[in-house]
Amino acid sequence: MSTLFTSGIVIDIILLLMIVEGWVLIRLTPRSGGALSPRAVVALLLPGAFLMLAVRAALIGAPWFLVALILALSFVAHMADIYIRLTDRP
């Protein structure tokens, strides 16, 4: 079990589940009244995906600056998500 974490495979599994979640949200949205556009779904999931990548990098012993860069990308993606949410209102 510890190998699952130290190798980062657990994060790969979580990222795969996030991809499936995004696909399901995009496929179900038209049937449920169109609450989320595909762009909004990607913007919703991208900051979390970057956070998961930062955790993975830390788990496998990547240099600190790589972890910091990925965290900064998560912040940028979060700001983009907020922008999309504020501008996509009807």
Please report the sign of the dihedral spanned by the C-alpha atoms of residue 20, residue 21, residue 24, residue 25: negative
HEC assignment per residue over the chain? CHHHHHCCHHHHHHHHHHHHHHHHHHHHCHHHCCCCCHHHHHHHHHHHHHHHHHHHHHHCCCCHHHHHHHHHHHHHHHHHHHHHHHHCCC
pLDDT tens sequence across 30-74: 666 666 788 889 999 999 999 999 999 999 999 999 999 999 999
User: Is residue 87 scored above 70 in pLDDT?
Assistant: yes
Q: Provide the pLDDT for residue 32.
A: 60
User: Is residue 89 scored above 70 in pLDDT?
Assistant: no
Domain that holds residue 56: 2-87
The tally of domains found in the chain comes to 1
User: Is residue 85 scored above 70 in pLDDT?
Assistant: yes
What's the whole-number average pLDDT of the chain? 90
Contact 43, 80 (CB under 8 A): yes
